[in-house]
Amino acid sequence: MKVLVIGGAGYIGSHVARCFADHGIQVTIYDNLSTGTTDNLFPDYVFHQADILDYTTLVSVMREGFDAVVHLAAAKAAGESMVKPEKYSLQNITGTLNILNAACEAGISRLVFSSSAAIYGEPAYLPIDEAHPKQPANYYGFTKLEIERFLEWYDRLKGLKFAALRYFNAAGYDPEGRITGLEKNPANLVPVIMEVAIGRRPHLDVFGTDYPTRDGSGVRDYIHVTDLADAHYRALLYLMDRGESFAVNLGSEQGSSVLEILEAARRITGREIPARVTGRRPGDPATLVASSAEAKRLLGWEAHYSDMETILATSWKAYTSRLGNP
């Protein structure tokens, strides 16, 4: 099987690409390297450095002939999307429409899309299942929800079959240590903690300890990126075998608080990891936890690496092997 992985040099895309290649899939990466890095490319891949806004190149690469496309190329900082919506309109909406149109033009009819728990917004109930109301609290989540709606129309009108994978909080690194490209300027909790532990940042800002949670800090469902990659593989096989579109949540079904993760990180890294409590970050719900029952039912998928110990230990290994262990 031959698959085009758009955004395959990035954090999640690099794990997906490696997983596919491990299963004998021929991988071609399409990435503009704006956040991705060549460190995440392997000799068994074909690589095109190009932008999804460059429609001509997109079509000509897709015409090389692929069984499916996996689309992970997006801007993903929820906070930034509230102050720079234009960036998210262009990269996420326009970029994705280019991919859908190019796939139709090149005769590709299977697509796996990186969606997000951000499409649900403030939880009406927990755990969040796929039927939960979809009222994104930030523009980033809005772009992901709109793209899911475009996908439904392209399915009806053009026969483009899709898997929309609604990630909760992706974290961790390849347990075998093969993915070494670190995220540039991360805003997410686990990589920020790693940067503090390794001495790149002076401290962690804990965004609020006055939430109605067990210790007052925000609770999220952290899912190991290796488990996410496995879900993409299963989603791809499902699309190829069954030819039916679907959308599923991908989470561990476990909630961890910011303070619990901080304590676990101190223990695992052996570092002090200075932290200070600041105010809440606008748009942050108190608790987000997934029901992944549908992914289990449809794909036979379940998380195996998503305990906090493994998430933090594999992250620390990636950071120390890349930046040294000061």
281 touching ligand UD1, by CB under 6 A: yes
Q: State how far the alpha carbon of 21 is from the alpha carbons of 69, 105, 238, in Å.
A: 14, 26, 17
Per the CB < 8 A criterion, the answer to whether 319 and 182 are in contact is yes
Is residue 248 near ligand UD1 by the rule CB under 6 A? no
Instruction: Please report whether residue 94 would count as binding ligand UD1 according to CB under 6 A.
Output: no
Q: How many residues are listed for the chain in this entry?
A: 326
Query: What is the separation of C-alpha 106 from the centre of its chain, rounded to a whole number of angstroms?
Result: 26
Please state the closest distance from residue 98 (CB atom) to ligand UD1, in A: 22
Contact residue for ligand UD1 among 13, 36, 218, 251 (CB under 6 A): 218
The SS3 of residue 6 is strand
Question: 26 vs 21, 134, 180, 231, 294, CA distance in Å?
Answer: 6, 36, 21, 18, 28
The minimum distance between CB 166 and ligand UD1, in angstroms, equals 9
Cβ neighbour number for residue 181 with a 10 Å cutoff: 19
Q: Rule CB under 6 A: say whether 143 interacts with ligand UD1.
A: no
Tokens of 317: 């290994």
- The piece of 38-46, 88-96, 198-206, 294-302 that touches ligand UD1 (CB under 6 A) is 198-206
Q: CB–CB of 204/271 below 8 Å?
A: no
Is 117 a binding residue for ligand UD1 by CB under 6 A? The answer is yes
Which tokens hold the place of 246? 């679907």
Nearest distance in Å: CB 286, ligand UD1:
8
Out of 4, 151, 164, 189, the residue judged to bind ligand UD1 by CB under 6 A: 189
Q: How far is the CB of 26 from ligand UD1 (least distance, A)?
A: 29
Closer Cβ to ligand UD1, 149 or 156, answer by number:
149
Closest CA to 150 of 104, 106, 185, 181: 104
Find out whether the peptide bond into 127 is cis, omega within 30 degrees of 0. yes
Among this protein's residues, is 140 annotated catalytic? yes
Q: Residue from 49, 57, 60, 188 that binds ligand UD1 (CB under 6 A)? A: 188
Is residue 206 close enough to count as binding ligand UD1 by CB under 6 A? yes
Q: Please select the residue that binds ligand UD1; options are 118, 196, 236, 299, rule is CB under 6 A.
A: 118
> What is the bridge-based pairing of β-strands 161-167 and 246-250?
parallel
CB of 100 to ligand UD1, least distance (A): 21
Question: Given the complex with ligand UD1, which of 175 and 285 has the nearer CB atom?
Answer: 285
> Which one of the spans 101-109, 184-192, 223-231, 264-272 is the region binding ligand UD1 (CB under 6 A)?
184-192
What are the b/e assignments for 100-123, b being 16+ CB within 10 Å? Answer: bebbbebebbbbbbbbbbbbbbeb
Does the protein bind ligand UD1 through residue 116 (CB under 6 A)? yes
Tell me, by CB under 6 A, how many residues bind ligand UD1: 24
Could you tell me where the DSSP H helices lie in 199-257?
225-242
Residue 273 as a binder of ligand UD1 (CB under 6 A): the answer is: no
CB of 281 to ligand UD1, least distance (A): 5
Options 11, 45, 88, 140, the catalytic residue: 140
Long-range contacts of 237-244, Cβ-Cβ distance < 8 Å, separation of 24 or more = 238/163, 238/298, 238/299, 239/68, 239/110, 239/111, 239/112, 239/161, 239/162, 239/163, 240/1, 240/67, 240/68, 240/110, 243/161, 244/161
Near ligand UD1 by CB under 6 A: residue from 78, 128, 179, 236: 78
What are the residues binding ligand UD1 (CB under 6 A)?
76-78, 116-118, 138, 141, 167, 169, 187-189, 192, 204-207, 218, 220, 258, 281, 284-285
Residues known to be catalytic: 140
